[in-house]
């Protein structure tokens, strides 16, 4: 089993200072992968600069110009949460280009699966706006690129970040070629992602949101992926699976009120991998989104890569949630989603 890893130290040059989304996220992860000897089992995939034509598949020229201009002027705040440094425009192009190189490697069969350890993240970036720490929407650019270059007709995007990927949803809201599936804490930033947001026009029914209340844990999230994603994916029959891999639903994460464990993420990735293996010859690419507790993030990414390699995940050093809140019963939510999407 060949698993690609897209990473380059250039991603550390998106300098956000003391911002919660900072370079330590990747430094800690790379260190753990090296210490555990897992790095040597991965196929390194170098990034490249995404060209304007590729980025503009998902973003307006005015949006691209705004990011470029902000970096050229020395950086600054793009909104109350999102910062660009002098190098951020170039780094964001390398993040998007890294994901595209990973996609090409998966499509060519050079690797079975790939993980893009990139930043800045992307799933909040809309066609016209940077927000939620995101400059360019890496996964959305990859999906549009897969449609254009690889002539794909059916692409599944699964998003397990604690925050709803409003940018990805918006970009593909009327597109029947892209099925967007998201589990997320709700209500929570950015406020979107209700059950009733399910697409428009030709894309009606191709957005599937599973909004979950606070304090959901492994059992609740695994139910959502088994009971909702699995039948939806099998009905859709994707030719490629893309994943916005956000690890902020972990119980230790400071931006979350969820209770997932490292083992829970391994379980989610296992379900997605099994679906990709069954439905599209294993064509699976994950790209990093959130996750801000460094130990939880690095160990969850390590567990993800172990699953992709066909290995059992290592013991979870953080263990189960401390000060556990009773998980909510999500049965009624799942039933409403099933009804909305005719899942029987």
Which residue of the set 124, 163, 164, 293 is catalytic? 124
Q: Is 215 exposed, middle or buried (0-12, 13-18, 19+ CB in 10 A)?
A: middle
Q: How many domains does the chain have?
A: 1
pTM of the predicted model, to two decimals? Answer: 0.98
Residue 76 domain boundaries:
3-318+325-340
The pLDDT of residue 323 is: 81
User: 155 has which bridge partners?
Assistant: 178, 240
Q: Please, are residues 103 and 113 in contact by the beta-carbon 8 Å criterion?
A: no
CATH code (residue 49): 3.40.800.20
Strands (E), the chain: 3-6, 43-45, 76-77, 83-84, 113-116, 155-159, 178-185, 207-212, 240-245, 284-288
The pLDDT of residue 325 is: 86
The pLDDT of residue 171 is: 98
Is 124 catalytic? The answer is yes
User: In 3-state terms, what secondary structure has residue 18?
Assistant: coil
Beta strands 240-245 and 284-288: pairing type?
parallel
Q: Is 72 exposed, middle or buried (0-12, 13-18, 19+ CB in 10 A)?
A: exposed
For the chain, 344 residues long, give each residue's pLDDT as a single digit of tens. Answer: 899 999 999 999 999 999 999 999 999 999 999 999 999 999 999 999 999 999 999 999 999 999 999 999 999 999 999 999 999 999 999 999 999 999 999 999 999 999 999 999 999 999 999 999 999 999 999 999 999 999 999 999 999 999 999 999 999 999 999 999 999 999 999 999 999 999 999 999 999 999 999 999 999 999 999 999 999 999 999 999 999 999 999 999 999 999 999 999 999 999 999 999 999 999 999 999 999 999 999 999 999 999 999 999 999 999 999 887 899 999 999 999 999 999 97
The pLDDT of residue 297 is: 98
The pLDDT of residue 322 is: 87
Euclidean distance between CA atoms 117 and 184, whole angstroms: 21
The pLDDT of residue 112 is: 98
The position carrying tokens 């400071």 is: 254
């Amino acid at each position: 089993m060949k698993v690609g890893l897209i990473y380059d130290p250039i991603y550390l040059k998106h300098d956000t200072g003391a911002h919660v989304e900072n370079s330590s996220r990747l430094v800690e992860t790379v260190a753990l992968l090296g210490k555990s000897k897992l790095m040597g089992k991965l196929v390194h995939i170098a990034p490249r600069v995404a060209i304007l034509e590729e980025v503009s598949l998902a973003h307006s020229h005015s949006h691209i110009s705004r990011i470029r201009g902000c970096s050229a002027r020395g950086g600054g705040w793009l909104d109350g949460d999102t910062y660009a440094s002098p190098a951020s425009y170039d780094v964001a192009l390398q993040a998007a280009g890294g994901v595209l190189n990973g996609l090409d490697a998966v499509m060519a069969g050079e690797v079975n699966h790939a993980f893009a350890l990139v930043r800045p993240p992307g799933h909040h970036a809309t066609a016209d706006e940077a927000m939620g720490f995101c400059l360019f929407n890496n996964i959305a650019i990859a999906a549009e690129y897969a449609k254009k270059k690889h002539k794909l007709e059916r692409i599944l995007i699964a998003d397990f970040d604690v925050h709803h990927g409003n940018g990805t949803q918006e970009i593909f809201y009327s597109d029947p070629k892209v099925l967007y599936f998201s589990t997320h804490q709700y209500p929570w930033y950015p406020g979107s992602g209700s059950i009733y947001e399910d697409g428009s026009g030709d894309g009606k029914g191709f957005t599937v949101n599973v909004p979950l209340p606070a304090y959901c844990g492994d059992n609740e999230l695994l139910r959502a992926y088994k009971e909702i994603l699995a039948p939806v994916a099998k009905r859709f029959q994707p030719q490629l699976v893309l994943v916005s891999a956000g690890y902020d639903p972990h119980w230790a994460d400071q931006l979350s009120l969820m209770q997932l464990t490292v083992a829970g993420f391994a379980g989610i990735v296992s379900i997605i991998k099994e679906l990709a293996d069954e439905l599209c010859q294993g064509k699976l690419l994950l790209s990093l989104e959130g996750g801000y507790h460094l130990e939880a993030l690095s160990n969850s990414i390590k567990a993800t890569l172990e699953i992709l390699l066909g290995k059992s995940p290592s013991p979870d050093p953080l263990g189960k949630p401390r000060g556990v809140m009773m998980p909510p019963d999500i049965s009624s939510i799942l039933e409403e989603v099933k009804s909305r999407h005719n899942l029987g």
